[in-house]
Chains A and B, each alone.
Chain A
Amino acid sequence: MAISYIGVGFLLIIGLLMVPVTMILGKFFRPSKFEISKLEPYECGIEVKDSPKGRISVHFYIVAVVFLIFDVETVFLFPWAVAFDKLGLFGFIEVGIFLLLLIVAYIYAYFKGALRWEE
C-alpha cells in the first residue's frame, strides 16, 4: 500500500530540504568575504598547476562493472529469500543453478585479475 509509505515520504522531504534550508538560514549569520586567494584549491599549501580531471585509473571502472552485475544478482536473491518457505527445495535448486553460473563468472573475473588491484 502506497499510503503506508507516507511517513517515509515526509521524512524524505524533510531530509532533502534540511541541507538547503540550513544553508540559506546560515547565510544571515555566517561571515562571507570574497578573497581570490581563499578560493584556490587546497594542495598542501602549494600552488596548483594542473587539473585532476580525466586522470583516473581504469581499475575503478572495472570494479564498478563487476559490482553492477553482482548487484543485479543479489536483487534476484531478495524475492527468493523472502518467499523461501513457499518455494522450498525447488526454489533452492533453482537458485543453486543460478548462482553456480555466477560463481563461474566470479571465478573468471577473479583469475582475470579484475578484482585485484595488483597488476
Chain B
Amino acid sequence: MNSQILINYIAFPLIKIAILLAAVFTVVAYIVLVERRLLGFFQSRLGPNRVGPLGLIQPVADGLKLFLKEDLIPTNANPFIFKIAPIFSFFPPFVGFAVLTFALPLIMPSGKMHQFAVADVDLGILLILSLSSLGIFGIILAGWSSGSKYPLFGSLRSASQMLAYEIPLTLSVISVIMMAGSFRLSDIVTAQQTYKFYFIIPGIVAFFVYLISVVAETNRTPFDLPEGESEIIGFHTEYSGMRFAFFFMAEYANVVLICMLTPALFLGGYDIPFLNDLELYKTHPYLVNVLGFLSYAAKSTLFAYFYIWIRATFPRYRYDQLLKVGWSVLFPISLLNLFLVALIKLFLMK
C-alpha cells in the first residue's frame, strides 16, 4: 500500500518531470537557434551554422559561455532583490508546462491509464494564467533593484504593457473555457474532439485577440518595448552571465509554452485533423497516441514559426500606442466577443 503511494505519487511524477524538463530545455535551447537561423533566412543570410553540424551545438556553446561568465552586481543595486528577481521570471513558465497534456492517455497492457501530462489538474489553464501573472514581478524587481535608469524605465513599461494585455488575454481564454466548460486542458481538447470542430471557428475573434495579446505578454516584436534595444536598453541591462540567461530562457520558455497552449485552446491540441480520433482510439490506441502527439507538435511548430515570422517583419509599436491598442481596442473587442460566444454557446452549441 505504502509503496503503491510512493510509486504513484512520487516516482511517476518525478519520472514525468524528468522527461518533461529534458524536453523543455532542449526545445527552449533550440528554438533560440531555430529563430536565429530562420531570421537569417528571412534576411538573406545563413545564420549560425559553424558550431557543430548545421550549427546544432550553438545553443550549448552559448549556454556554456553564459554559465562561465562573471556575475556582476552593481554597486547601486539592491543585492538581495537583484539576486532573486530572475527566479520570479524563470519559474512561472516552467511550472506552466506541468498542466499541458500531449496526447490521449496511454493505455498500459495492465489496463491502467496514464496521462501524457505531469499533472493534468482541474485548474489547468487557470494555473498557467495565474502563474504567468507572476512573471511581471521578475521584471519589476529586476528593473527596480538594478539602481539604474534604463532598467527602471524598461521594467515599468513592461509592467504596464503586461497589465494592459493580460485582461484581453484572459477574456479570450474565458470564451474558450465557456465553450468547453472546463479549465482542464485535456477536457478542452476532448470537447473539440466531441464537437468535431475546433474552437477557432466559433472563437475566431477570440483567437486573434489571444494571438495579439500573447505576443504582447511575451514581450516580442512588435510589442518588444521592454527590451526595445534601440530606445531604452531593457530591464535586464545590468544583468550579466547566467542571471541574464535566466531572463533570456524565461522569455523563450514563455514562447514555447504559448506555442503549445495555443493549439490546445483553439486548434484541437493533439486532435488529428480529418480523423475521428475517439473512434479510432478504441481500436488503435497507440497509433492515435503517436499521431496525436505529432499533430500537436506540428501545430505548435506552426505557431513558433509565426512568432519568428512576425519578428522578422514588423516594426515596433510605441509605448503609448501599445497601451492604446491594449485598452481601447482589444479590451472592448474581447468583452463583446465574450457575449457573442456566450450566445453561440447558449443557442447553437448543444
In the complex, chain A residues whose CB is within 8 Å of the CB of B320: 116-118
> Which chain A residues border B99 with CB–CB below 8 Å?
8
**Total A-B Cβ pairs within 8 A:** 198
The reply to whether B177 and A82 form a contact with Cβ atoms under 8 Å apart is yes
Chain A, residue nearest B14 (CB): A10
Residues of A contacting B148 with CB < 8 Å? 41-43, 48, 52
Q: A41-B74, A48-B148, A74-B167 are in contact. Are A12 and B91 (CB under 8 A)?
A: yes
Q: How far is the CA of A20 from the CA of B121 in the complex (A)?
A: 28
Please, which residue of chain A has its CB at the minimum distance from the CB of B75? A39
**A103–B147 Cα gap in the complex (Å)?**
39
B70 within 8 A of A: yes
For B20, B86, B327, the residue with the greatest tally of chain A CB atoms inside 10 Å of its CB is: B327
Q: Given A19-B246, A71-B167, are A41 and B76 neighbors across the interface (CB < 8 Å)?
A: yes
Minimum C-beta distance from A92 to chain B (A)? 6
The contact of B147 among A52, A70, A85, by CB within 8 Å, is A52
| Residue A38 at the chain B interface, CB threshold 8 Å | yes
Q: Which residues of B contact A92 (CB under 8 A)?
A: 342-343, 346
The yes or no answer to A84 lying at the interface (CB within 8 A) is yes
User: Chain B's interface: helix, strand, loop or mixed, by majority?
Assistant: helix
Give the Cβ gap from B126 to chain A, nearest Cβ, in Å: 7
Q: How many residues of B contact A (CB 8 A)?
A: 82
- Could you tell me the distance in whole angstroms from the C-beta of A32 to the nearest C-beta in chain B? 6
CA distance A36 to B74 in the complex (A): 9
B37 at the binding interface (Cβ < 8 Å): no
Given A16-B87, A40-B75, A41-B238, decide whether A67 and B174 contact each other with a Cβ distance below 8 A.
Answer: no
Residues of chain A within 8 A of B170, CB atoms compared: 71, 74
Is A97 among interface residues, defined by CB-CB distance under 8 A? no
Interface residues of B in 71-117 (CB under 8 A from A): 71-77, 83, 86-87, 90-92, 94-95, 97-99
Known: A19-B87, A26-B242, A41-B76. A32 touches B119 (CB 8 A): no
Contact across chains for A26 and B121 when beta carbons are under 8 A apart: no
On whether the beta carbons of B174 and A6 are closer than 8 Å, the reply is: no
Is A101 interfacial (CB 8 A cutoff)?
no
| Chain A residues near B16 (CB-CB < 8 A) | 7
Interface residues of A (CB under 8 A from B): 3-8, 10-12, 14-16, 18-20, 22-23, 26, 29-33, 36, 38-43, 48, 51-53, 56, 60, 63-64, 67, 70-71, 74, 77-78, 80-85, 88-89, 92, 95-96, 99, 103, 106, 110, 115-118
19 residue pairs of the A-B complex, CB under 8 angstroms, read A6-B119, A11-B95, A15-B90, A15-B95, A16-B91, A22-B67, A32-B70, A36-B75, A43-B150, A52-B147, A60-B160, A64-B160, A67-B166, A67-B167, A80-B178, A82-B182, A88-B346, A92-B342, A92-B343
Which positions in B face A, CB cutoff 8 Å? 9-10, 13-14, 16-17, 20-21, 67-77, 83, 86-87, 90-92, 94-95, 97-99, 118-119, 121-123, 126-127, 146-150, 152-153, 156, 159-160, 163-164, 166-167, 170-171, 174-175, 177-178, 181-183, 233, 237-238, 241-243, 246, 319-320, 323-324, 327-328, 331-332, 335, 338-339, 342-343, 345-346
